[in-house]
Amino acid sequence: MRILVPVDGTEQSRHMLRFLAGRETMLGSHPDITLANVQYSVPEAVIRLLDLQSVKAACEAEGRQVFDKLRDEISQLRADVKETVLYGDAGEAIAAEADRIDADLIMMGTRGLNAPMVYLLGSVSNSVLSKTQRPLLLVRPETPVTGGDAMRVGIAVDGSEHGLAAVAVTLSNAELFGKNASFRILNAQPDYRDVMSQSAYMLDTIGPLLTQDEFREEAEKAYKDAVDPALELFKTARLPATGVELFGDAGEAISEYARENLDILVMGSHGRGNFTAAVMGSTAMKIAATSTVPILVVRK
């Protein structure tokens, strides 16, 4: 597996490397890790035009100092580790490097902020997410740095193609999660009481639109429509998976379940726009803002 890890020498970078070192399964038998540090925002073309080689050399030296600060953490990685200094806009440079090395995975940290959610990932992570189609693993500061070899994997689906894309990437990289990994297909349906409470003003005039039994029947159908195609893909791949039906606000319900029951959560992204909320969607943003487990974002 080829993994690209952008680093900047901060504690967040140290945490990511410790997390990676503690996941033997994620590294695989022949891991290939590229650590990248991005220097200055002046485009490479401008540097060549102005012949500012002394500036480039100084930035190269700065980048190497970043790797030196992380030397203890780097030494813990049981892998072929390459170090490269990139130049220009961080998001574009990282996305381009991922393409150049044909990365199977990009791994980045999140700020761990809850609000405003649009800033949760930080400008660099957000930019990378909007510029690459490669899977992006987001690691929160609260994520434990060590873990077992058999991961509990949750895949959030909502009946859209984005959820099925997340399933497909999970199946094609099943070895990433360990030989004895367990897979759970998650879908959240509205809670009847919440819906009725929000519609109380309508009930006084026209009465309930659905009885509780009718609502439950509709919710069960929506759950099966979302989960059954994903389970069928796992069946075809001869991997066991179970469906998990949750109730309430999708972002809150999935995040709460993940905190207590999962080691990693896989989500699809519709991939529109340059802002995180537009790229990930409001539900995915809420999950990213409140979940402490790593999140693997799959672009469609």
Domain boundaries, the chain: 1-109, 147-300
Residue 89: which residues within 8 A CB-CB, separation 6 or more?
41, 43, 127
pLDDT digits (tens, 9 = 90+) for 150-204: 789 999 998 888 899 999 999 988 888 877 889 999 999 887 655 555 554 444 4
- Structure confidence by residue, pLDDT tens digits, 245-264: 999 888 889 999 998 999 89
**Residue 278 above 60 pLDDT?**
no
Above 50 in pLDDT, residue 206? no
Angle subtended at Cα 168 by Cα 223 and Cα 185, rounded to the nearest 5 degrees? 30
**Do residues 56 and 85 lie in contact, with contact meaning Cβ atoms separated by under 8 Å?**
no
What CATH fold (topology level) applies to the domain 147-300? Answer: Rossmann fold (3.40.50)
The helix/strand/coil state of 180 is coil
Q: Where does 1-109 sit in CATH, by number?
A: 3.40.50.620
The beta strands (E) that lie in the chain are given as 2-6, 32-39, 80-87, 105-109, 136-139, 152-156, 182-189, 241-247, 264-269, 295-299
Q: For residue 279, what pLDDT band results from cuts at 50, 70 and 90?
A: very low
Question: With pLDDT > 70 as the criterion, what percentage of the chain qualifies?
Answer: 76
Residue 115 token pair: 């609000």
Instruction: Say yes or no: do domains 1-109 and 147-300 share a fold.
Output: yes
Q: Average per-residue pLDDT in the chain?
A: 80
| pLDDT, tens digit (0-9, with 9 covering 90-100), for 49-87 | 666 666 677 778 888 899 999 999 999 888 889 999 998
